[in-house]
Structure 1
Amino acid sequence: MDGHQPAGSTAHGPWTVDTGMRHTGLRVLELAPGGSQSFATGEREAVVVPLTGSCSVRCGPESAELAGRPDVFAGVSDFAYVPRRSDAVVSSAAGGRFAVASGTARRDLPFRRGPAEEVPVETRGTGSCRRQVNNLASADGFVCDRLIVVEVLTPDGNWSSYPPHKHDEHTADESELEEIYYFEIGRDGFGQHRLGGSPPGPAGETAEVRTGDVVLVPRGWHGPSAALPGYPMYYLNVMAGPHDERAWRITDDPAHAWVRDTWAAPATPSEEGAA
């Protein structure tokens, strides 16, 4: 599948993931106990997200202590915003894994910490389409210039990024956004993610995704992501685009958009799992 980058395929120096597109980027850092790593943001703003462990982020004379988590399924983490044109250092006394999500920016915003207790958490879908979204830096929440960063946790056996959708046009109904998916799968399992495919065009492609895998979505239809029975799925979404407006508007695949209407009313026991 074009856009699927298996774990380790983009590793560079201390970064186990080092990838991106024109407007978005993602690096994942593995730190040993007592380790530290510097990075420069250049013309991009960045959000540092602890995946496992806690860390300190220093940016010039300022610093933020991020109380992390044992793993991505254990709860919401603090995070830190690092402005463009900055030099930052991530350090961790106990070690861990830390994501640096980035997006092109034109404004200079202040370095700051995003407390876990202030992150809006929502449930989307119902039945077998139910998933949890941690809105770390959503379009209508934590202030960034263009960058959008959210986490999605899909229970084992459920589907997310569904209905299939796209966001590659700048209109009143849709935002033009690149998107990066970074996956972690519980119990060392695997899941599936689909790109492309909307009638009457060619069929889509489905990739097997495991912990550390990345899928790049520069444009086009994408979804669903499937968490196999027994293996819960986590993904970090990184989005940004070429326009100054910071918004997340999507177009559902017209072949499957009807499914969203079934979520308006609570599912009965017989309907649970039907979607």
Structure 2
Amino acid sequence: MSTKGTYHLPRGTAADSPYDLLVTPESAGWGHSGLRILTLSPGEGHLLDTGDAEFLVLPLRGGCTVTVGGQTFALDGRTGVFESVTDFAYLPRGTRALVSSASGGTFALPNARTGHGGLPARYGRKEDVPVELRGAGACSRQVNNYCLPGTFEADRLLVCEVLTPGGNWSSYPPHKHDEARPGAESELEEIYYFQVAGENGFAYQRVYGTPDRPVDVLAEVRSGDTVLIPHGWHGPSIAAPGYDLYYLNVMAGPGQDRAWLICDDPAHGWVRDTWASQETDPRLPFGAKETNR
């Protein structure tokens, strides 16, 4: 299935058995970032070949074991994305791993194409995941920094989660990272995978381009939807009142330096200056009210 040229992928439209979602560089029409969502029934397993990409195994709901190269990583996982951060596993390119779950669950498999396989498979402890409260007032959100420069070593892959209380805006001010400007901006493709609390929960995602690289997305998103961001300004991500919003961000790009450097839309960047006089939303952080900052 090709999704090239289609940036909003409603739940199920990019499924490819056994995956609830399969985004590859080829299907997205770019070169580096990918994401798979895998649901396992109790006692079920899945054999994963990483090929030319590095992967995380990141539980969204439930726990699993990851067996690779004679090692077994037991991931406790979590009951849901709004409940806590999770432990996870890293898999290098060129490996075969068995992901199995005694009680069943849903697991994100973010990945990035890489030319290097020198990093070992390893376990990421939930206690080591930095949890950041970003913004203030109606722009308050929580960021779980799983696999970013300075938090977990990888070759190209960058992964974080953003949780936004109902009624708030995140990914705001709108920003971009689509050109290499040393010290100012890095070139990264990005995937947003959404879950929304509540049976009828919904949110909105905006993506818009620059004059020389147009893109225009204003999507109503629901649980299981995905938005691809090849370039351009992205944000806000708007959580409707009454419905908390979660999204998983997966990024990778061609740069030799693994970096997340963004540039705000100059029309809206001034909003950051207003946060100093506002309080963080008291609904944050989600879950156990503890952060690893």
Q: Please give the range of the TM-score, normalised by the shorter of the 2 chains.
A: over 0.9
TM-score, structure 2 normalization? 0.88
The match for 1:115 among 110, 119, 125 is 125
Which letter maps to 2:115?
R
User: Percent of counterpart pairs with the same letter?
Assistant: 54
Q: Which runs of 5+ in 1 are unaligned?
A: 270-275
**Cα distance, 1:203 vs structure 2:** 9.0
Equivalent residue runs for 1:22-37 within 5 Å:
22-37=31-46
Q: CA 1:247–1:201 in structure 2 vs 1: closer, same or farther (change >3 Å)? A: closer
Is 1:185 aligned with 2:196? Answer: yes
Partner of 1:161: 171
Partner of 1:42: 51
Which letter maps to 1:37?
H
**Cα distance, 1:267 vs structure 2:** 4.5
Q: CA 1:268–1:139 in structure 2 vs 1: closer, same or farther (change >3 Å)? A: closer
Preserved CA contact (<8 Å) 1:198 1:253: no
After superposition, give the CA deviation of every residue in 1:153-203 in whole Å (9 maximum; x if it has no partner).
Answer: 001111101111100011120000000000000012111100105699989
TM-score, structure 1 normalization? 0.93
Is 1:149 aligned with 2:159? Answer: yes
Partner of 1:251: 263
**Cα distance, 1:39 vs structure 2:** 1.2
After superposition, give the CA deviation of every residue in 1:98-137 in whole Å (9 maximum; x if it has no partner).
Answer: 0100002233201001000110000000000000000011
The match for 1:12 among 11, 16, 29 is 16
Root mean square deviation of aligned Cα: 1.9
After superposition, give the CA deviation of every residue in 1:243-270 in whole Å (9 maximum; x if it has no partner).
Answer: 110000001001100001112344499x
**Cα distance, 1:63 vs structure 2:** 1.5
Question: What is the alpha-carbon distance in structure 2 between the residues aligned to residue 76 and residue 24 of structure 1?
Answer: 22
Preserved CA contact (<8 Å) 2:8 2:217: no
Question: What is the alpha-carbon distance in structure 2 between the residues aligned to residue 161 and residue 199 of structure 1?
Answer: 21
Q: Number of residue pairs matched?
A: 269
Question: What is the alpha-carbon distance in structure 1 between the residues aligned to residue 160 and residue 274 of structure 2?
Answer: 24
Question: What is the alpha-carbon distance in structure 1 between the residues aligned to residue 280 and residue 23 of structure 2?
Answer: 43
Q: Secondary structure at the match of 2:14?
A: coil
Which letter maps to 1:256?
H
Partner of 2:96: 87
Q: Which runs of 5+ in 2 are unaligned?
A: 26-30, 282-293
